[in-house]
Chain A
Amino acid sequence: METRKVVSTQTETLPSKPVVREIDEVVIRFVGDSGDGMQLTGTQFADTTALFGNDLATLPDFPAEIRAPAGTLAGVSGYQINFSSHEIRTPGDQPNVLVAMNPAALRSNVADLEEGGILILDSDAFTEGNLGKAGYKTNPLKDGSLAGYRLFDIPLTSLTLKAVADTGLGGRQATRCKNFFALGLVFWMYERPVDYTRDWIEKKFKNNQQIARANIQALQAGYNYADTTETFTEHYRVRKAQLEPGTYRSITGNEATATGFITAALLCGRPLFYGSYPITPASDILHELSRLKNYPVKTFQAEDEISAVGAAIGASYGGSLGLCGTSGPGLALKSEAVGLAVMTELPLVIANIQRGGPSTGLPTKTEQADLLQAMFGRNGECPVAVVAPATPADCFWMAIEAFRIATRYMTPVIYLSDGYLGNGSEPWRIPGPQALPKFEVAFRTQKEGFLPYQRDPKTLARPWAVPGTPGLEHRIGGLEKEDVTGNVSYDPLNHDKMVRLREEKIARIANDIPEVKILGRESGKVLVVGWGSTYGAITSAVESMQGRGLSVSSIHLRHLNPFPRNLGSILGRFKKVLVPELNLGQLRLLMRARYLVDAIGLNKVQGKPFKVSEIVEAVEKLLGEV
């Protein structure tokens, strides 16, 4: 995909003034040591860009080690942002600009930079020691290996030290301001104001004026450096995107997830209970929810993953919206308890922010390989509903949907986000109250005729009878239940019946969820089927190919168990079905089993999201075979 188009070139007459080029999309990647503040730099650039009015998508990419040895390849942390004057859906296939704070960051990222792309380096960091740690035999600043890029090697560290000298800040602390110097410089390059970041620094360091002043001076100095020296002969204008009218905020997937869950609580009038054990990349949900103490939410940092889900089940039993958040290894530990919630038919939502597996795997990298765990990872016939958000902002909507299903059907629901969605951000148009779904929950209070496992004839849900209700004292548990009464039963035919009832209850959710919509023609040569975080890449790829007149459509599944009821009929209308997934073909396996469709996989397990070009290439190959 061509990500950077030159729309017009405005040449101004004064030679001392840099040329302003208007472009409509840019991908910038900031990379440095994990102690260099690259995540902060990227977030500040993204927030400023969102406020400026561009559309954007981000991709933070950091190591699992908090501070790997400084200057090594293992310690490189990065943040990529794609922003534009039109609607975009991915953080971009290829950076147009790379800002690298040391040789290790350069070495591990430069291959991704587009040919002729802008490369900004801290020349002070290219010492013999750092070059050695990065595995460079010769200095790339001198050996000509960077000749294919537009190189700006600027002594960022020494310029920063000079800029903050009058604050009296010492060596190491002063050096740490260099990320703001670099940020100021890039702000100038893309015509972004420094105000938002300056305000942020003032607030963040309000108890340490010295640090606040130094960082602000570094930021401003970076901006001024770019503005006044003639290092940069041009800078770039990316106009505001034509977004739908409304109020917007920038939101990450994890923020949207937390916001969606609280919204669910406010909509249905039941308090939220969040049990969680810290785990990457889900911990931000715990941080977010534990902050909001003036909302109807209680958080519980449990002693382990099992306790987190047990507590959530206890809270659900008591009438709260029981929720726990985790990642793949944590979901594995919760399996038995999820089974208990299936048996006791209590509402429960388990948010799994997936990461690379198996085992500890790649804690900070994204993957979609827990779909089958969510579907089947429990003993016995143990069906649960499974939903998956498609974009960072969609996390908000699917979080509400998860609780709507959980409470209406008295069932656990597994919510499958992932590290890419959780940490990635995008502008979000804040919905008005009328745009929010209505859902109500009702407790059983009537004593007469109460039987704990008497089901709603339509949904098959059992009544939610919570402690504190007089006359409804009853016992539930993990032993098989007798139909209707809920008493313990070992009767063979009763067991058979209950297993089928639990299955049927989940299947009936299909009547209550929207049909899946086709992007493009209703039939044709290739259908691309995606789920979860691959939405952006798939949609961008399919739209661009449709623009070229190719016979390709796509659908994106946000409900994975049960599937939308029209899925089977759609699959039959295309000659080829392609299923791109960040796993070895888990949705494909389910679709093949369920619909006997010869779906073809496009599978990637590199801890990274798909590039648009990878999807285009796979579809084109299939089109060639039809």
Chain B
Amino acid sequence: MSSPTEGAVLPPPKLTKADFSSDQTVRWCPGCGDYSILAQVQKVMPSLGIPKENIVFISGIGCSSRFPYYMNTYGFHSIHGRAPTLASGLKISRPELSIWVVTGDGDGLSIGGNHLIHAMRRNLDIKILLFNNRIYGLTKGQYSPTSEFGKKTKSSPFGTAEQPINPLGVALASECTFVARSVDTDTQHLTATLDRVARHKGTAFVEIYQNCNIFNDGAFEAFTARDVRSDRMISLEHGKPLIFGKEHDKGIRLNGLHPEVVTLGKDGITEKDLLVHDENATEPTLAFLLSRLTYPDYPVPVGVFYNASRPCLEDVVEKQADQATAKLGAGSLERLLNSGATWTVS
């Protein structure tokens, strides 16, 4: 379907970050990581060259899902877990729109887990931002599907008895064609990641570590704090060896299928011994291996884990329609009503 405003020939005006801020007061708690994510998204938007009337933000329920109200684009704050379903219907029926799903660890991986995996498997050209704060914030502090095993919360006073789910593992297992991770506090990295998310053709999934300073303050502090970040996190770059550390002296090496942290220069280890990141690998095996690296045993990787190219569902659907129309001619009311065996009574 074409845009209802097709025919307007005005050149797109140059947009700024302010053009993407709505008139609604932002109502997240002061100090919430969501503010930073909102600011980076608003910053990235103008650079994409997409008219803002063609951008739609769709969310479910939870703190993160208030996001669309603050974006001066089209926005739909739907129901719990279901944002990918609305996004799917909208994208299939209006492929020209730029559609962003904003979800959280509870919305996306608990109540809406089924929709999330199927949206990714279909490879619709939509962008999914999953704010992971490892807690239920809007309902005031119950554990979430990404909360650490044994975590004490309001609904788990003796500690949870549940193994957390790994969002990136879910995305990779769901055949998602673009899988990334970033952190709310690293604004530069976040902006760069969002830019790549926006430019990927296909479903792009990014997990954003987001601090809930009210119910789970400091959840990622142990490795994201400014002073320890470079020693406890590793930024993935395509084609480059996995090196980290303040002194750029540490790396990741594969020992069989087992990754190990090594020190460059020690025991004759050089860059050549290190694992080299390949986000375009045919199979997401390496991406999955990297998604399993967690602090404190390993540095926590951020960046683009996997980036593949595959046909998008909405394009296949359009192609089938085009082929059928070319072969059979466009359907008309007369043909529709008179199809099958007919007979005449006079």
A295 touches B4 (CB 8 A): no
In the complex, the chain B residue whose C-beta lies closest to that of A271 is B1
B88 touches A53 (CB 8 A): no
A311 touches B78 (CB 8 A): no
B-side contacts of A304, CB under 8 Å: 114-115
B341 touches A249 (CB 8 A): yes
Q: How far is the CA of A384 from the CA of B117 in the complex (A)?
A: 31
B336 touches A263 (CB 8 A): yes
Q: How far is the CA of A469 from the CA of B5 in the complex (A)?
A: 6
Task: Give the interface segment out of B69-77, B154-162, B188-196.
Answer: B69-77
Q: How far is the CA of A50 from the CA of B334 in the complex (A)?
A: 21
B-side contacts of A314, CB under 8 Å: 58, 76, 85-91, 93
Flag B273-303 by CB within 8 Å of A: 1 or 0 each.
Answer: 0000000000000000000000000000000
Task: Give the interface segment out of A240-248, A540-548, A596-604.
Answer: A240-248
Among A245, A248, A266, A477, residue most surrounded by chain B Cβ atoms (within 10 Å): A477
B-side contacts of A196, CB under 8 Å: 341
A294 touches B74 (CB 8 A): no
B-side contacts of A307, CB under 8 Å: 82, 84-85, 88, 114-115, 118
A488 touches B343 (CB 8 A): no
Interface residues in A259-309 (C-beta closer than 8 Å to B):
259, 262-263, 266-267, 271, 273, 275, 292-296, 298, 300, 302-304, 306-309
A271 touches B93 (CB 8 A): yes
Q: How far is the CA of A567 from the CA of B319 in the complex (A)?
A: 50
B5 touches A431 (CB 8 A): no
Among B24, B51, B90, residue most surrounded by chain A Cβ atoms (within 10 Å): B90
Task: Give the interface segment out of B198-206, B212-220, B304-312, B321-329.
Answer: B321-329
Q: How far is the CA of A430 from the CA of B341 in the complex (A)?
A: 12
A-side contacts of B342, CB under 8 Å: 247-249, 430
B4 touches A468 (CB 8 A): yes
In the complex, the chain B residue whose C-beta lies closest to that of A246 is B345
Task: Give the interface segment out of A88-96, A315-323, A502-510.
Answer: A315-323
Does B257 sit within 8 A of A, measured CB to CB? no
B74 touches A470 (CB 8 A): no
A294 touches B331 (CB 8 A): yes
Number of interface residues of A (CB under 8 A): 76
Q: How far is the CA of A266 from the CA of B330 in the complex (A)?
A: 11
Does B139 sit within 8 A of A, measured CB to CB? no
A-side contacts of B97, CB under 8 Å: 318, 467-468
Does B79 sit within 8 A of A, measured CB to CB? yes
Number of interface residues of B (CB under 8 A): 69
A473 touches B52 (CB 8 A): yes
A311-B1 contact, Cβ under 8 Å, with A53-B343, A467-B74, A477-B76: no
B-side contacts of A433, CB under 8 Å: 333-334
Does A478 sit within 8 A of B, measured CB to CB? yes
B-side contacts of A311, CB under 8 Å: 85-86, 88-89, 92
A295 touches B336 (CB 8 A): yes
Does A458 sit within 8 A of B, measured CB to CB? no
In the complex, what's the smallest C-beta–C-beta distance from A494 to chain B, in angstroms? 16
Q: How far is the CA of A313 from the CA of B332 in the complex (A)?
A: 26
Q: How far is the CA of A303 from the CA of B120 in the complex (A)?
A: 12
A292 touches B331 (CB 8 A): yes
A-side contacts of B69, CB under 8 Å: 475, 477, 488
Select one of A47, A249, A300, A336 contacting B338, CB under 8 A.
A249
B-side contacts of A344, CB under 8 Å: 76
Does B317 sit within 8 A of A, measured CB to CB? yes
Does A476 sit within 8 A of B, measured CB to CB? yes
Does A459 sit within 8 A of B, measured CB to CB? no
In the complex, the chain A residue whose C-beta lies closest to that of B85 is A310
B-side contacts of A271, CB under 8 Å: 1, 93
In the complex, what's the smallest C-beta–C-beta distance from A603 to chain B, in angstroms? 35
B-side contacts of A267, CB under 8 Å: 333
B77 touches A476 (CB 8 A): yes
A479-B89 contact, Cβ under 8 Å, with A263-B333, A470-B53: no
B-side contacts of A248, CB under 8 Å: 342-345
Q: How far is the CA of A248 from the CA of B345 in the complex (A)?
A: 7
A273-B346 contact, Cβ under 8 Å, with A47-B341, A249-B340, A294-B321: no
Q: How far is the CA of A292 from the CA of B93 in the complex (A)?
A: 16
Does A3 sit within 8 A of B, measured CB to CB? no
In the complex, the chain B residue whose C-beta lies closest to that of A339 is B79
Does B255 sit within 8 A of A, measured CB to CB? no
Does B16 sit within 8 A of A, measured CB to CB? no
A-side contacts of B332, CB under 8 Å: 266
Q: How far is the CA of A472 from the CA of B68 in the complex (A)?
A: 15
Q: Which 7 A-B pairs have the closest CB atoms?
A: A310-B85, A477-B77, A311-B89, A314-B89, A314-B86, A293-B324, A295-B331
| Chain B residues proximal to chain A, CB less than 8 Å | 1, 3-5, 8, 22, 24, 51-56, 58, 61, 68-69, 71-79, 82, 84-94, 96-97, 114-115, 117-118, 317, 320-321, 323-325, 327-334, 336-346
